[in-house]
Amino acid sequence: MKHLFCLFLQLALFTVFIYTSYCQQTQQINSEVKNIHEAVEKFSLKFFQSCVDFVDNESNVSKNILISPLSLWLLLVLIREGAFSNTKDELDNFLEIKNIYGFSNDFKDIQNNLTISRNDVEVLLGQFLFLNSNTNLNVFYEKLLEQDYGTKIEQIDFKQVKQAYDSITSQVQKATKGFIKRALNPLDIAQTNLIIISALYFKGQWTSPFNSSNTKTEPFYDESEQQIDTAEMMFQSGVFPYAPIKELESYVLELPYGEDKPLSMIFILPRKGVTLKNVLEILVNFDMEKMYEELRNSEIDYEDDEVEVHIPKFSFSNDYQFNLLLENMGVRDLFDKTRANLAMMSQDQIYLTRLLQKTKIEVNEEGTVAGAITSAQFINKATPPRFYANRPFLFLIVNKITKTILFTGQVKNPRLTK
């Protein structure tokens, strides 16, 4: 009889500050690691589009969305290392790594490239595997996760529900610095034999923070230009990379984090009459390097031109179960007790029962991990550009060195908390 195993993806987004400017990065990325970052980028955009479509189809109510494709990708890579045969092939295709080999050797380089621990910017990655006391991992798999992936493995008696819950919760809170209070509830523990958690914690200060005295209550509109609510709109004027990108039918603004700007938030505001869905359909196949190049060029060409930036304050959290979404995207064997092949992970016959992600974000004058929708017009050099996020928008948080997308999201109403 196959054992159940439950997989949890834990994501924490922290308060962040933003302000932008492109700068040359000197750190070199080897070709193998670069290929992996490119795979993560392709996966991130594909999954973001599918997730938005899935959430919109499941609910008739407009929702803000925040996901971390990177955290999901890292977690599924751990499972993929334990998969065999068609189960592994499905994961390779889904993760965009079917033509990349031996990347476990480069994983530490990837973590080093992404991990930042400073006062103004902090990115922490953590992987945890919790085993029931009667479940055993294959020795090779356990060694691989610990040595190559830095996974912390702990064996717990899941029958002692409170003790197991407290231990897992403690690890989650530590990994997210208390931002996420819990990743699961006690009933989840009692019904499974194996729990894997991937934690991604991000906190960043804007390079140029917003002055709270400039924050005003203003109308917020939907995609048909009807007022749906009000928002606390932050404002500042400064020199930021900004470009209308015709291929995306959008206005794009970059605001950086930290003194030397290692990460940035990129806001994508559709032109009037263009929906978020329209932009996402283009974005999934868009060459992101073109966007980065246009932003770089705008900073060079208009280095003395200021942009008026209006973005809303917001705070919301999401809880997702991704089983059905992954099945729709081709990952099917993993969830089927008769077809799942995780023989490299354990001699016990196990399969995945649930794949969860918990996300949380806060955006204000002092910090943000979110985005803004902007009403703007195409401008010429004689007219100061205005980026006015008073309607739905998309956002990405990107590592400037590797071009890795850490977070993706959409804001349809900044007042919504779910």
Look at residue 406 and tell me if it is in a domain.
yes
Q: Say yes or no: 189 and 324 in one domain.
A: yes
Residue 300 CA from chain centroid, whole number: 29
Q: Say yes or no: 152 and 276 in one domain.
A: no
pTM: 0.85
Total number of domains in the chain: 2
CA distances from 205 to 114, 314, 348, 363 (A): 17, 16, 46, 11
Q: What was the pLDDT predicted at 25?
A: 38
Q: Say yes or no: 229 and 356 in one domain.
A: no
| CATH code of the domain covering residue 336 | 3.30.497.10
Q: Say yes or no: 292 and 336 in one domain.
A: no
Q: Say yes or no: 64 and 169 in one domain.
A: yes
Q: Say yes or no: 276 and 137 in one domain.
A: no
Look at residue 321 and tell me if it is in a domain.
yes
Q: From CA 256, how far away is CA 239, in angstroms rounded?
A: 12
Q: Say yes or no: 325 and 389 in one domain.
A: no
Residue 1 CA from chain centroid, whole number: 36
Look at residue 291 and tell me if it is in a domain.
yes
Query: How does DSSP classify residue 312?
Result: E
Q: Say yes or no: 223 and 247 in one domain.
A: yes
Look at residue 368 and tell me if it is in a domain.
no
Contact 355, 196 (CB under 8 A): no
Question: Which residues have CB under 8 Å from 264's CB, separation 6+?
Answer: 18, 20, 254, 255, 256, 257, 397, 398, 400
Q: What was the pLDDT predicted at 302?
A: 63
Q: Say yes or no: 284 and 138 in one domain.
A: no
Look at residue 24 and tell me if it is in a domain.
no
Give, for all 418 residues of the chain, the pLDDT tens digit.
Answer: 455 444 443 343 222 222 222 333 334 556 677 788 888 999 999 999 999 999 888 776 778 999 999 989 988 999 999 999 999 999 999 999 876 666 677 777 778 888 888 888 888 888 888 888 888 889 999 999 999 888 899 898 888 988 988 888 888 888 888 777 777 778 777 778 888 888 888 888 899 999 999 999 999 999 999 999 999 999 999 989 999 999 999 999 999 998 888 899 999 999 989 999 999 999 999 999 999 999 988 877 666 678 999 999 888 888 888 889 999 999 999 988 889 999 999 888 888 888 888 888 777 776 544 322 111 222 223 344 789 999 999 999 999 888 899 999 999 999 988 7
Look at residue 12 and tell me if it is in a domain.
no
- Token couple for 224: 């048909």
Q: Say yes or no: 326 and 294 in one domain.
A: no
| CATH code of the domain covering residue 401 | 2.30.39.10
**Whole domain around residue 148: which residue ranges?**
37-204+315-362
From the list 131, 258, 279, 247, the residue with the least C-alpha distance to 197 is 131
Q: Say yes or no: 139 and 165 in one domain.
A: yes
Look at residue 158 and tell me if it is in a domain.
yes
Look at residue 120 and tell me if it is in a domain.
yes
Q: Say yes or no: 240 and 194 in one domain.
A: no
Q: What was the pLDDT predicted at 30?
A: 64
